[in-house]
Amino acid sequence: MKKKMQSIFDNAVREHVTPGVAASILLFENNQSNSSDFFSGRLEPGSPIEVNQRTIYDLASLTKLISTTLLSAIAIDLGKLGIDEKPWPLWPEVSVAHILSHTSGLVAWLPLYKEAIAQNVQCTAKGEEVVVQGALASKPIAPAGTEFLYSDIGYIALGALLQQRLGDRLDVLFADAARRFWANKNLQYRCLYENPEEILRDPIAPTGENPWLKKVFCGQVHDPNCYAMGGIAGHAGLFGNLDDVKAAAAFFLHALKGDELGVCAVLRDFADYLGPHPLGFDKPTPGGSTDNCLSMKSVGHLGFTGTSLWIDPLAMERSGACFMLLSNRVYFGIESNEAITELRRSFHRTASSVA
């Protein structure tokens, strides 16, 4: 399996699906864990630095799962957020559950960053305010609860609400939560208006040229709305390496399989939510990136930059397994969706043979 897996990643790099890739299969058995890690390629073509366990990637929408879903569970456990409450005046029928399950009827994405540029406040705290205001002013395109429409806009609004209810900025809230739940030190948002030079200290995989700044992003979040917000948002903004994501994945698997009360119980309720879609997590879909190889109890998420995380509580004879793939596939442009999809399918197809 290891030789075949390494060949999959080496071929992906050779065929310019991504400049580099870091992946892991984390298996649990009898309360013990072991992982198989794989690395291929370099930070970018021509770089002398090869990808390894310390290579940091823009995790993109894995932020929705690892940060926003966790912070929502914390707020609910503290009684500071209600899953069925409808706190947005211009969206009177939209509940927190609708946002978390992508059934709010809100549009997938809007170029809200353009207003921040127009006001010359991009990449600042004021830019965050402008983007959030734009998100909250948008109109649903379908009635709440009627269909699944994946939406960054909803998560921008939810991130802002969590800051209000929990009383601090998302990066601070997440850092505290991650230290609490898995002794995290490195998985983090990278604020672009406080000590921005810090983003250059670690080996970070560049994500490609930003079309309106005309420069290659390296350590600055790729998503333009999150960038305009200063790098901190509910839908994107987290950076981390393979070890960081493994630690977070192990916590989520433990929460989903355990019997603890509090935040872990809320996360189990999210994953088992009786609706068309779980709360805060994605589920495998027929023909999707997991290639029908994981159980239907699996939960996870994809990231636009080329990242993915899937957690299968029924793997390894119900001990559980986690599957992580990090890449910077957008370096070669954003149109290589089929190539990254096939890479993800090959990864999960081969990984599931040992899980």
**H or E, element range at 7:** helix 2-14
Mean pLDDT rounded to a whole number for the chain: 94
pLDDT at 196: 60
- End-to-end Cα spacing for the chain: 11
Average pLDDT over residues 155-168: 98
Q: Which among 328, 322, 325, 326 is positioned nearest to 352, based on CA atoms?
A: 322
Inter-CA distances, 37 with 2, 22, 67, 240, Å: 9, 7, 24, 15
Q: Which residues contact 314 (CB under 8 A, 6 or more apart)?
A: 295, 297, 298, 320
* Amino acid type, 23: A
Domain 65-180, second-level architecture: 3-Layer(aba) Sandwich (3.40)
8 A C-beta contact, residue 273 and residue 102: no
Question: Where are the domains positioned within the chain?
Answer: 2-62+186-351, 65-180
Confidence of residue 336 (pLDDT cuts 50, 70, 90): low
**67, two tokens:** 């940060």
**258, two tokens:** 């355990």
Cα 148 to the chain's mean position, in Å?
Answer: 18
Cα 96 to the chain's mean position, in Å?
Answer: 19
Give the whole-angstrom CA distance, residue 332 versus residue 17. Answer: 7
Average pLDDT over residues 236-260: 96
Asked if pLDDT for residue 31 goes beyond 80, the answer is no
Read off the pLDDT of residues 176-210 as tens digits, 9 standing for 90 and up: 999 999 998 789 999 999 866 555 567 999 998 87
pLDDT at 333: 85
Assess whether the region 2-62+186-351 and the region 65-180 belong to the same CATH fold. yes
Asked if pLDDT for residue 172 goes beyond 90, the answer is yes
pLDDT at 184: 83
8 A C-beta contact, residue 278 and residue 268: no
Q: Which residues of 313-344 are buried (b: 16+ CB within 10 A; e: fewer)?
A: bbbbeebbbbbbbbbbbbbbeeebeebbbebb
Average pLDDT over residues 328-338: 82
Average pLDDT over residues 102-123: 97
DSSP assignment letter at 329: G
Asked if pLDDT for residue 214 goes beyond 80, the answer is no
Q: Would strands 299-303 and 307-312 be described as parallel, antiparallel, or unpaired?
A: antiparallel
8 A C-beta contact, residue 8 and residue 350: yes
pLDDT at 337: 66
- Measured in degrees and rounded to the nearest 5, phi and psi for residue 32 equal -115, 150
Cα 319 to the chain's mean position, in Å?
Answer: 24
pLDDT at 70: 98
* Amino acid type, 81: L
Domain 2-62+186-351, second-level architecture: 3-Layer(aba) Sandwich (3.40)
249/196: higher pLDDT: 249
